[in-house]
Amino acid sequence: MTASSHRAQPPVSAAVVCRRLESLAPLGPASLGLLLCLDDLQTHEAGCELVSERAPHFPSRFLISGWAARVRWLADGRRQILGFLLPGDGIGLCLRPHPLALATTVALTPLVTIDAEPVMRAVGGPAPPEDLAAAMQIASSMDEAALLNQVVRLGRQTAYERMCHLLLELYDRLSDVGLAEDQTFPMPLTQELVSDALGLSVVHVNRILQQLRREGLLDLRTGRASLLDIEQLRDIADYERPQPSRWRSFPGSQPMSEAPA
């Protein structure tokens, strides 16, 4: 992992991790304190491999800023992106002592990451803080849910539906950490990366994007995307926003529409 370790003036802080985990389960002051004490901020160049497939050792970190992807290659060079990692997400988190990486993780943009080891030790230790453990487990469930969505997209949706579905997922996930507003979000992916995520050719991705623009559903410029009719996009993609607040059984901080009668 080519990275420069420097503690001077962190570009941003672990606040985005707090924001992410709090959107999943309410955190007490002890857990928030633990998160805000995380250190060893690192920057990584675009293109660098954070985790290498089958590597016996790799770091547990949180992504603070920038985008990364989990990737697999076939022998002949075909590439499949398994999923995107966004700010607030974990990288290489695994409770098992010496896991083998199941996929390569690469930086798609310049990144800032922070050490997640203290969190993993707390959660895997003898007396794990209940709130933090709940948040981390829900985060892990959301990772699985994203993977299941990816399977459905690739297996049973048309190119047009896949594109809408992916855009909605990115929008919702970025919203969760406060990086999207007015249906607009940063979009650093090239069409080639999108094509490798959606199992399509670059040319076809380009045509689908043209179509969405013509239909007034999407405004996509360099580095920025706007979803112009989210309701229609949801219909097209058969997409539903995940509601992790409903994945907890105990009462949470966010009021729910269905209150007990």
Q: Is 9 in the site for its own copies (CB under 8 A)?
A: no
Residues 27, 31, 34, 40, CA torsion sign: negative
Q: Are 49 and 105 in contact (CB under 8 A)?
A: yes
Tell me if residue 83 falls in helix, strand or coil. strand
Comparing CB distances to its own copies, the nearer of 54 and 221 is: 54
* Nearest distance from C-beta of residue 102 to DNA, angstroms: 24
* Nearest distance from C-beta of residue 1 to DNA, angstroms: 21
- 141 touches, from its own copies, DNA, none (C-beta below 5 to 8 Å by class): its own copies
Comparing CB distances to DNA, the nearer of 60 and 201 is: 201
Q: Which of 3, 32, 120, 154 binds its own copies (CB under 8 A)?
A: 154
- As a whole number of angstroms, the distance between CA 154 and CA 128 comes to 38
Q: Are 44 and 62 in contact (CB under 8 A)?
A: no
Q: Which of 4, 29, 37, 151 binds its own copies (CB under 8 A)?
A: 151
Cα–chain center distance at 108:
13
Question: Under the rule (CB under 7 A), what is the footprint of DNA?
Answer: 158-160, 190-192, 199-204, 206-207, 209-210, 222
Q: Which two structure tokens, joined as six digits, stand for 34?
A: 């633990």
What type of residue is 126?
Answer: P
Q: Is 175 in the site for its own copies (CB under 8 A)?
A: no
Q: Is 258 in the site for its own copies (CB under 8 A)?
A: no
Q: In terms of DSSP H, where are the helices of the chain? A: 15-22, 29-36, 117-124, 130-156, 159-176, 191-198, 202-214, 230-237
- As a whole number of angstroms, the distance between CA 187 and CA 220 comes to 8
Contacting positions for its own copies (CB under 8 A): 56, 72, 74-76, 78-80, 82, 94-100, 102-103, 126, 134, 137-138, 141, 144-145, 147-148, 150-152, 154-157, 196-199, 238, 246-249
